[in-house]
Structure 1
Amino acid sequence: MGPDSRARPGRAMRGKLLPLAGLYLVQGLPYGLQSGLLPILLRARGLSLTRVGLAKVLYAPWLFKLVWAPLVDRRGTPRAWLVLSTAALGLVCGLLATLAPTSQATMPTPTLGLLLLLNLAAAVQDVALDALAVQLLEPAELGPGNTVQVVAYKVGAALAGGGLLTLLPILSWPLLFLLLATTYWLATALAWAAPALCQLPTPQLTEPPGPKKPLHLLQDLLAVPGTLWTAGFVATYKLGEQGASSLFPLLLLDLGTPAPELGLWNGVGAVGSSIIGSALAGALLAKHWQPLPLLKLVLKFRLGGLVCQTLLLFHLDAADSGPSPGPTAMLRGAALLSLCLQHFLGGLVTTATFTVMMRCSQLAPRALQATHYSLLATLELLGKLLLGALSGALADGLGLRLCFCLLLTLSALPLLDLGLAPSMLAGAAGRHGQ
């Protein structure tokens, strides 16, 4: 076999991975925009922690992906849905550019409505892009494809959450959203014109078009071995971590950390650390580490890191009110570094958890595996959003110290859950159904 014939498969895979990388990158922009950039913008405008936290309710469309995922499967093609949803994202960002924020400490209703539409279009794009990737990638390409997915998504989140925040002194609100709109329209052209995506055949339905009744479908999903435990674990494993990570940057902002500096650490630095953690977890699992023992080890480190971060916050709060600014500067630097450490550990935890989720879904009948995994992914997202949305209200209502004690308790619970894991999930993740 000549060198050209050996190189052709590599070129073909790159032809698939490059457009997927670009599309997954822009898929991460809405998450970074609303998890990194928007909370700091709202807090800087004077909104209470409760209102900043409740802004995460705008993520609600992501919780209903199971409602329109069958529509994406049965009407048109994933590529068509991808083009339409990405173009819609560009349109919404263009409209947001016309709604510059006022000096009032409230979010205008039109802006709230457009942000809700932004999440709706992004959730549809997520379903369409994942479905397209499943059709596009060969079995040997799934490893590189999933690596591209995770890294590109997190880079997009970092660019929107931290990169744009550092540009706020240069870019106005209208220019910021015009930049995002232009990015989405370029991604729309990529989804429409990329040769690898154009070659996908129109899928043929092999089952009757009538869907199962929701109750019967849910019964089939819950009957899969290990589902009840996995669903409970993924819905709760990030409660404490997500609450702390939502509050900590805002409290650092209150204690005098400049917004551009905070955006750099909490956006670019934190996401970069998360990518490294995810890559390390993948390498350890490839070296035959079992997911559940790895989770138990990393969750212990995560809990210890959260304890240290909480103590740093309490000391920083006390030092900030004292006469000497020196310790405050040192503690603030340590606190910013702790953001990266916690996101590094969070990346490890998330990758190991997703491996357990996939292992559980592989125990389902082949015809249910995609829906089963979507159910677990929706519960995982719901668990992350719950404390992210309520953490501000908890801090305002309970006080800072009691709130963080509660978050630490929630972070310890997953360690107890692991002791109840069913035996069929203890083995290494197998291959997808053949």
Structure 2
Amino acid sequence: MVHVEASPGAARLFSSLSSPYVPLGVLYFVQGFPYGLQSGLLPVLLRTRGLSLSHIGLTRVLYLPWLLKVMWSPLVDGVWGRRLWLVLCTGGLGLCCLLCSLLPPGTDLTSLAWLLLLMHILSSMQDVALDAVSVAVLTQEQVGLGNSLQVVAYKLGSVAAGGGALTLLDMLGWRTLFLLLAVGYLLATLCAWWAGALKGEEPAPRENSKETRRRWSLGSVAWSVFRVPGTGWTIVYVLIYKLGEQGSLSMVPLLLLDHGVSPSDLGLWNGILALMASIVGSTLGGMLLGKGRSIHSLLRTVLSVRLSCLVLQTLLLSALGRDTTLVKGEGPLWGDSVMGGMVCLLLSVVLQHFLAGVLTTATFTLMMHCTRQARPSLQASHYSLLSSLEVLGKVSFSAVSGLLVDSLGVSVSFSAFIALSCLPVLHLRNLPATLS
């Protein structure tokens, strides 16, 4: 038999795929594509077609599959292997991008919306399998860095398919743009299939059909999930840990816009600089956890600093409102105090995104530690429940924060945000020993 020696380039490629960080990073990167298309590309296309802001806001219903993914997590746990689910879902996402590339330039955007909904369904199913694979293949020492990689790769993928796609749309054209996204999904599919590091995940156990049907019962799965040690505490935490932060991050940029900050300046601070700070924070959080920093200590520090930042924002917004009301935007007092206050507010927004990056990485690590307490055949369902509730806690409050500010005013509503941000600090005092 003739022995064929692999080329140095191929050897390096397969060596990199033997590390779990590379395939997981690639898969989490392409997982961010649908969110980027939904948040960055679709609203601009709809606005250029003359749709109202209210109608554009209704497109958030396309995120619904991410809240419902726990419903099909037992299917991922009980049928086939998780790597096969990764391959099928990632390949299906590539097919959706291929279909998007075939849409004519002046097509009705309803077709694009349906394809985006299908992409969200497939992406949320891929997320169920990918999270379960991550829990299985990452060692205790790799969990912190692995979660940092997850957050950063997803954010970069959403930026690439959102702002990046919008920037390149006129240069490349609709068809070429979506073909490039389809190629990205194809490469990710091959990575999921060939990566040796992902073969270490434990497959779902083979069961007879009667036992499988029993375990697929939603009530049975829910009962088993809630019996996992630390699950009740973690559920409460993921529902409350972002409430005050989401209200602030949603409202401060809009309030600054009302006070005269230009959209371009706001885009620089709340877009580019904030995203960079968030990525740096996520990376730092993973590095600290990877070096042995305890989750409890890191969460306590970040939550306390975030609370102080929110108090500072409330004071600045209150002072800003008094200045502009008293002097009606005229004279040197307005220029000195208001401009200084707005700069401090912009800096506080960047700081909040940095802290949010650290906090998200630490929280996902905490969720993964909790999921490790479950038996392997239940881990996909368990982590899916936690991540779905984490999304619910963020989305639900950001949707009503504007109503609170309009109804109660800035000072009262931001005081409520501060009170809500105290809840996770207090809740952290009762962290179960199994999660510390």
TM-score normalised according to structure 1 size: 0.77
Of 293, 296, 305 in structure 2, the residue corresponding to residue 292 of structure 1 is 296
Match of 1:14 in 2: 16
Q: Does 1:84 align with 2:92?
A: yes
Match of 1:332 in 2: 342
Task: Give the Å deviation of 1:382.
Answer: 1.2
Match of 1:235 in 2: 239
* Worse-matched range after superposition: 336-345 or 316-325: 316-325
Task: Give the Å deviation of 1:344.
Answer: 0.8
Runs of 5+ unmatched residues, structure 1: 101-107, 427-434
Task: Assess if the C-alpha contact under 8 Å between 2:94 and 2:183 holds in 1.
Answer: no
* 1:99–1:403 Cα change, 3 Å: farther
Residue identity in the other structure for 1:120: I
Task: Assess if the C-alpha contact under 8 Å between 2:295 and 2:366 holds in 1.
Answer: yes
Residue correspondence of structure 1 range 191-202 to structure 2 within 5 A:
191-194=188-191, 197=194
Of 403, 406, 421 in structure 2, the residue corresponding to residue 396 of structure 1 is 406
Task: Assess if the C-alpha contact under 8 Å between 2:89 and 2:125 holds in 1.
Answer: yes
Match of 2:128 in 1: 127
Residue correspondence of structure 1 range 368-407 to structure 2 within 5 A:
368-407=378-417
Task: Assess if the C-alpha contact under 8 Å between 1:26 and 1:183 holds in 2.
Answer: no
* Worse-matched range after superposition: 294-303 or 11-20: 11-20
Match of 2:179 in 1: 182
Task: Assess if the C-alpha contact under 8 Å between 2:231 and 2:370 holds in 1.
Answer: yes
Task: Give the Å deviation of 1:181.
Answer: 2.3
Residue identity in the other structure for 2:415: C
* Worse-matched range after superposition: 76-85 or 225-234: 76-85
2: distance between equivalents of 1:123 and 1:177? Answer: 25
Task: Assess if the C-alpha contact under 8 Å between 1:191 and 1:197 holds in 2.
Answer: no
Residue correspondence of structure 1 range 158-169 to structure 2 within 5 A:
158-160=159-161, 167=167
Task: Give the Å deviation of 1:299.
Answer: 0.5
Residue identity in the other structure for 2:330: P
SS at match of 1:241: helix
2: distance between equivalents of 1:309 and 1:135? Answer: 41
Residue identity in the other structure for 1:83: G
Task: Give the Å deviation of 1:18.
Answer: 4.9
1: distance between equivalents of 2:88 and 2:30? Answer: 17
Task: Give the Å deviation of 1:228.
Answer: 0.9
Please list the CA deviations of residues 316-354 of structure 1 after superposition, one character each: whole Å capped at 9, or x if unmatched.
Answer: 455565115634444333333222200111112122222
* 1:418–1:59 Cα change, 3 Å: same
The Cα RMSD (Å) is 4.2
Residue identity in the other structure for 1:216: S
SS at match of 1:424: coil
* 1:353–1:138 Cα change, 3 Å: closer
* 1:93–1:290 Cα change, 3 Å: farther
* Number of equivalenced pairs: 411
Task: Assess if the C-alpha contact under 8 Å between 2:33 and 2:160 holds in 1.
Answer: yes
Task: Give the Å deviation of 1:147.
Answer: 4.6
Task: Give the Å deviation of 1:398.
Answer: 3.2
Task: Give the Å deviation of 1:220.
Answer: 1.5
TM-score normalised according to structure 2 size: 0.77
SS at match of 2:430: coil
* Worse-matched range after superposition: 108-117 or 410-419: 108-117
* Worse-matched range after superposition: 378-387 or 312-321: 312-321
2: distance between equivalents of 1:259 and 1:161? Answer: 18
Q: Does 1:322 align with 2:329?
A: yes
* 1:164–1:330 Cα change, 3 Å: farther
Please list the CA deviations of residues 213-243 of structure 1 after superposition, one character each: whole Å capped at 9, or x if unmatched.
Answer: 2212211211122211111111111111122
Match of 2:3 in 1: none
